């Protein structure tokens, strides 16, 4: 499972050899830790067209910028795009390793043609810059609606937590309604939490203060119990495809609220649909059981349990629903007609539910993460050469870690992320698949 090539290029002889052979040079990514929670270096904020301030060029020159945030919301016609060049051209080569470029724009819309063209142009710009900027740096476009509250999004994108997110376009709107109360501990449910990405998601949500109900199949009981115990959460051994899964989740969560001094309200604040399986075969060799199993775990159960929990009133106001898609659901993937269909279905589900007026009024948000190649047991089972290709065919030249998806989920699940809904955020190092 370990990425031996990344380790090799992390040594001086390995770097020398692979450079001579013209092989990719993935940079070690700076990830979040409690000891080093921020990027190293200052953040520069500019309005498009504004030149970067002069900095002394001497042995005592200051640390390179860790990030540049460029406000391009005012660009209303294609000629105005030159301002983006003016501001960023002198800066990107000197940005710190694992540095960030975040461009702020607006929704292209369909009214003013010149504005629409210019604002859409920013997407091409950002996605291209991400492909070549190198050294573990990332580039994103954040589209702000009028009255948007982008703080949680900028906090995430300008931190080491977004290490494996690049080339993304994220829309942020105003956060509706009142902010959630801060005096009660939040309750989260994570499906497929016994290992891999789900375990990392549960850990990130627990770190951020939630009581986490960790759900997985009964056969994963020991691992599940260990994860829940480590995080001070609750284990729920349950097959998510069971007809009564929704009822049993609702009952387990209600039971938590009745616990003495639990500080929990008895409803769910965060619902993370993470459990997923693959049963790959080319379509001509795929029997119906493989098709059904994947569609049922990855999509059918998500719709059924969400429907039940909403109907039962088990999701609190300002609740957060995050479902797990995949870049296969965006780009398709050989041998994965069943899997890609299920993951594309997740995207359809998320967009439709996010548009539900009643949920919006209650401040509920619904989003998807779409992981690319993440180092887990699921991808360890992929044949060697396909695995190596999956690791390298992205702008960061390496696979992601479960924690990269987990941090993205934690950002979307945050009480401060009320303005983000209906988004599909890829955690794929800007994979060439579906880019």
Taking CB under 6 A as the rule, which mask of x and - marks residues 351-380 in contact with ligand NAD?
A: --------------------x-xx-xxxx-
The reply to whether 202 sits near ligand NAD by the rule CB under 6 A is: no
Please choose, out of 114-122, 239-247, 353-361, 410-418, the segment that lies near ligand NAD by the rule CB under 6 A: 239-247
- Pick between residue 115 and residue 392 the one whose CB is nearest to ligand NAD: 392
Stretch of 31-39, 102-110, 194-202, 357-365 lying at the interface with ligand NAD (CB under 6 A)? 194-202
Residue (128 or 219) nearer to ligand NAD, CB: 219
DSSP 108-123: --SS-HHHHHHHHHHH
Q: What is the C-alpha to C-alpha distance for residues 83 and 85, in angstroms, rounded to an integer?
A: 5
Chosen residue from 165, 214, 220, 294 binding ligand NAD by CB under 6 A: 220
**DSSP for 219-282, written as a single string:** GGHHHHHHHHHHHT-EEEE--TTSTTHHHHHHHHHHHHHHSTT--B-SSEEEEEE---------
Which of 300, 181, 309 lies closest to 248, judged by CA? Answer: 309
Q: How many residues bind ligand NAD (CB under 6 A)?
A: 27
Question: Are the C-beta atoms of 100 and 137 separated by less than 8 Å?
Answer: yes
Closest to ligand NAD by CB, 192 vs 246, is 192
* Residue 257 beta carbon to ligand NAD: minimum distance, rounded to whole angstroms: 23
DSSP 327: T
Pick the piece of the chain touching ligand NAD (CB under 6 A) from 45-53, 56-64, 97-105, 274-282.
Answer: 274-282
CB of 197 to ligand NAD, least distance (A): 4
Interface pattern 303-342 for ligand NAD (x via CB under 6 A): ---------------------x-x----------------
Residue by residue, DSSP assigns 337-403 as: HHHHHHHHHHHHHHHHHHT-HHHHHTT-EEEEEEE-SB-SHHHHTS-HHHHHHHHHSBTTSS-B-HH
214: left (phi > 0), else alpha (psi -120 to 50), else beta? beta
The count of other CB atoms within 10 Å of the CB of residue 184 is 14
The reply on whether position 419 binds ligand NAD by CB under 6 A is no
* Per annotation, catalytic residue among 5, 65, 164, 339: 339
The helix or strand, by DSSP H or E, that contains position 100, with its residue range, turns out to be strand 100-105
Residue 425 CB, shortest distance to ligand NAD, in Å, is: 13
Q: How many CA atoms lie within 13 A of 245 on its CB side?
A: 25
Q: In terms of Cα–Cα distance, which of 91, 111, 117, 112 is closest to 102? A: 91
Give the Cα separation of 152 and 145 in Å (integer): 15
Least separation in angstroms between CB 8 and ligand NAD: 22
- 87 forms part of the interface with ligand NAD (CB under 6 A): no
Helix (H, G, I), strand (E, B), or coil: what is residue 59? coil
Q: Which stretch binds ligand NAD (CB under 6 A): 47-55, 77-85, 130-138, 187-195?
A: 187-195
Among 121, 175, 197, 366, binds ligand NAD (CB under 6 A): 197
* 5 belongs to the catalytic site: no
Say whether residue 241 binds ligand NAD (CB under 6 A): yes
* Positions in the binding site for ligand NAD (CB under 6 A): 191-192, 194-198, 216-217, 220, 239-241, 274-277, 297, 324, 326, 371, 373-374, 376-379
Task: Return the active site residues.
Answer: 339
């Amino acid at each position: 499972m370990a990425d031996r090539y990344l380790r090799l290029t992390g040594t001086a002889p390995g770097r020398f050899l692979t450079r001579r052979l013209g092989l990719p040079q993935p940079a070690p990514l700076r990830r979040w830790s409690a000891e080093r929670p921020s990027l190293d270096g200052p953040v520069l904020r500019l309005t498009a067209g504004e030149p970067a301030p002069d900095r002394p060029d001497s042995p005592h020159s200051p640390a390179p910028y860790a990030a540049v945030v460029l406000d391009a919301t005012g660009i209303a016609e294609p000629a105005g795009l030159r301002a983006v060049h003016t501001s960023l051209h002198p800066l990107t080569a000197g940005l710190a390793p694992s540095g960030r470029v975040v461009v702020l724009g607006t929704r292209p819309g369909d009214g003013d043609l010149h504005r629409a063209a210019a604002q859409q142009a920013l997407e091409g710009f950002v996605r291209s810059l991400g492909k070549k900027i190198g050294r573990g740096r990332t580039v994103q476009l954040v589209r702000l609606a009028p009255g948007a509250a982008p703080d949680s999004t900028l906090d995430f994108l300008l931190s080491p937590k977004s290490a494996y997110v690049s080339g993304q376009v994220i829309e942020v709107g105003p956060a509706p309604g009142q902010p959630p109360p801060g005096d009660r501990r939040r309750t989260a449910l994570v499906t497929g939490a016994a290992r891999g990405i789900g375990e990392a998601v549960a850990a990130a949500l627990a770190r951020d203060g939630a009581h986490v109900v960790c759900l997985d199949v009964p056969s994963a009981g020991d691992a599940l119990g260990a994860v829940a115990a480590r995080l001070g959460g609750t284990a729920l051994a349950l097959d998510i495809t069971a007809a009564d899964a929704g009822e049993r989740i609702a009952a387990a969560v209600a039971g938590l609220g009745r616990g003495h001094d639990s500080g929990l309200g008895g409803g769910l604040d965060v619902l993370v649909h993470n459990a997923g399986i693959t049963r790959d075969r080319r379509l001509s060799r795929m029997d119906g059981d493989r098709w059904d199993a994947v569609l049922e775990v990855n999509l059918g159960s998500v719709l059924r349990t969400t429907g039940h929990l909403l109907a039962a009133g088990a999701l609190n106001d300002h609740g957060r629903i995050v479902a797990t898609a995949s870049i296969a659901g965006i780009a398709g993937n050989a041998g994965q007609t069943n899997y890609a269909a299920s993951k594309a279905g997740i995207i359809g589900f998320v967009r439709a539910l996010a548009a539900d007026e009643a949920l919006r009024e209650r401040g509920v948000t619904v989003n998807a993460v779409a992981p690319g190649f993440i180092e887990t047991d699921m991808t360890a089972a992929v044949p060697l050469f396909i695995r190596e290709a999956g690791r390298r065919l992205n702008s960061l030249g390496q696979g992601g870690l479960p924690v990269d998806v987990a941090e993205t989920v934690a950002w979307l699940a945050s009480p401060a992320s009320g303005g983000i809904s209906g988004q599909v955020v890829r955690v794929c190092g800007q994979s060439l698949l579906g880019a």
